[in-house]
Structure 1
Amino acid sequence: MTTTPGQPIRLSDIDVLARPNCKIKDSERVERIINDIICGGNRELQVVTDFDFTLTKQKTDDGKPVLSSFGMFNKCKSLPSSFLVESKKLYEKYRPIEICPTITHDEKRKHMIDWWEMSGDLLKGFAFDPKEIEELAKQYSHALRDGVHDLFKLTHEMDVPVLVFSAGLGDSIKAVLQHEQIMLANVKLVSNFLKYQNGMVNGFSEEYPLIHTFNKNETVLEGTEYYDMVHNRQHVILMGDSLADADMAEGVPKTSSILKIGFLFDHPEKNLPKYMDRFDIVLMDDQTMDIPREILSLVKQQNP
């Protein structure tokens, strides 16, 4: 859409927000936040986004499930069969807990810590060539949501910092972003990276605390160069696919306006009310970046 600088935006002016799979609980609040973000311009704005099933689709065009960053790693041919067997057991035990609509947030946190710590223990004592992940990344471009490339290039043009915040495997995520040429200068990736010792995998890197679904927020970045760069940016476009992702902007001390966009796919009939309580905009079975891309375009139009 084309707008006039200085003229307030109405939600009815933004066609993509009128799609039937776009759910908004409080239209007045969303309209106010979007106008705050637009008025603040690019210098007040940052983007904070999850990776698995947020930057990536939740299903491919032919309806097949998309691999997570850990799932992608598990496709590497040199991994020991014992690792794959035990890793699958952990997934089958803890993934249902992670997405269960009835288990409390605090209870889930305990289980996620157990899952990630046991996963880290499995990732020790075997040789692995990181180039295997780079080769797999070449086959992964179809998994990114439609419009991700345009969104990242737009943030780069506008000098808007992007934090990709993931409880997944950072090695896989970085390989995909680099292969797709969107690991740009304005993009920071915080995730769990493999650590090596004498050519052997030795658990997770200790650069950051172990990142799991329920501790992802910007407090873990305090004292870093990235935190110093963004903590005074008052406006945030936040994107995630789990209820816990709604908290990723915690730790930004001067934030005045956060637009939270949630991608809902699992248990939609049970989860929609909870997602609408936690996110400003909920997108049901949406495999695109149309809405965040449109909002960024409005910021650019109104702040030439």
Structure 2
Amino acid sequence: MESDALLLTFCVFADILDNSKIISEECQNELKALLHHYYPIEIDPHRTIREKLPHMVEWWTKAHNLLCQQKIQKVQIAQVVRESNAMLREGYKTFFNTLYQNNIPLFIFSAGIGDILEEIIRQMKVFHPNIHIVSNYMDFDEDGFLQGFKGQLIHTYNKNSSVCENSGYFQQLQGKTNILLLGDSMGDLTMADGVPGVENILKIGFLNDKVEERRERYMDSYDIVLEKDETLDVVNGVLQHILPRGDWRETQGS
């Protein structure tokens, strides 16, 4: 099959803002405390998604409120990313460029902060016109200070059509029947829910944490499970297999 669209998730939050100079030490500690409290709930295999939902909303809401107290300026975002250790998975250039050159839409769902994720991709020089990001975007006041977040709150367990109704998401997927879905949580499995006319979905899961206790659920839910794989080698291999060989050769040569 030829891949018509690709959905994947990024979580860009703690590793950048939490460790940046624009966040006070007190705020960093509070954000880490939230992580230590709520993350075990997020990945708890014994709780249903319905049970986890209110905790995720509470976590994200508290974190966003803390950030809004920090007087973050819009002009600081690029510098924060530049000074961070933010990296995309090895093989990202081949991945992004292959999708772009083959006119495959790339939709990125992120429960992190869209402004930061977008800046990372831009600084890596792979922010192509085929990319569409659905995430929590910062809302700045007229003086350029963070005052809140735009639109509906996006957390781990609502990355699906419920947050895409006004994003032009469905219009861009009209006529797309094949989807390659990449995720690193159980919540990512619903990213293609609500997309009309889909015939084939290949789901690839990245299992990075608590591998032993979460392996069975991942194996039951994803078609391919990659354990502690920090690369896009397998994904690029899949693309090489399903895309026309001539197009792939052209991509590699660019």
Q: What is the TM-score of this pair, normalised by structure 1?
A: 0.75
Structure 1 residues 298 and 242, CA gap change in structure 2 (3 angstroms):
same
**Cα deviation per residue 1:249-300 (whole Å; 9 max; x = unaligned)?**
1110211110000001211111111001110100111111112212222232
- Residue 119 of structure 2 aligns to a residue whose secondary structure is helix
Q: Does 1:89 align with 2:48?
A: no
Q: Distance in 2 between matches of 1:115 and 1:187?
A: 28
Residue 303 of structure 1 deviates from its aligned partner by 7.8
One of 3, 10, 26 as aligned partner of 1:51: 10
Matched letter for residue 165 of structure 2: E
CA distance in 2, matches of 1:234, 1:141: 37
| Equivalent-residue separation in structure 2 for 1:69 and 1:145 (angstroms) | 16
Q: Is the 8 A contact 2:19 2:28 kept in 1?
A: no
1:292 maps to 235
**Structure 1 counterpart of 2:71:** 127
Aligned 8 A contact 1:155 1:161 in 2: yes
Which residue of 144, 161, 169 maps to 1:199?
144
Deviations 1:102-139 (A, max 9, x none): 22221111110111112222232442233433123235
Q: Is contact 1:126-1:200 (8 Å) kept?
A: no
C-alpha displacement of 1:182? 1.3
Query: Given the alignment of the two structures, is residue 151 of structure 1 paired with residue 110 of structure 2, yes or no?
Result: no
Q: Alignment partner of 2:154: what SS?
A: coil
State yes or no: 1:225 paired with 2:173. no
Structure 2 gaps of 5+ residues are: 248-254
Sort the Cα spacing of 1:83 and 1:137 in 2 relative to 1 into closer, same or farther, 3 A.
same
Moved more, 114-123 or 256-265: 114-123
Count of residue pairs the alignment pairs up: 246
Q: Pick the aligned partner of 2:129 from 158, 166, 185.
A: 185
Secondary structure, aligned partner of 2:73: coil
Amino acid corresponding to residue 95 of structure 1 in structure 2 = Y
Would you say the 8 A contact 2:160–2:191 is kept in 1?
yes
Amino acid at match of 2:50: D
Q: 2:156·2:188 contact (CA, 8 Å) conserved in 1? A: yes
Q: Is the 8 A contact 2:205 2:226 kept in 1?
A: yes
Cα displacement (A) at 1:142? 6.4
For the residues of structure 2 that align with 1:120 and 1:131, how far apart are their CA atoms?
A: 19
Q: Distance in 2 between matches of 1:126 and 1:142?
A: 21
Moved more, 116-125 or 232-241: 116-125
- Please give the alpha-carbon distance, in whole angstroms, between the structure 2 residues aligned to 1:126 and 1:111: 23
Cα distance in 2 for partners of 1:238, 1:84 equals: 32
| Aligned equivalents of 1:267, 1:186: Cα separation in 2 | 34
Matching residue of 2:251: none
| Higher-RCO chain (CA-CA 8 Å, sequence separation at least 6) | 1
- Residue type of the alignment partner of 2:194: G
Distance of 1:218 and 1:139 partners within structure 2: 34
Q: 1:142 to 1:76 in 2, by over 3 A?
A: closer
- TM superposition shift of 1:74: 1.7
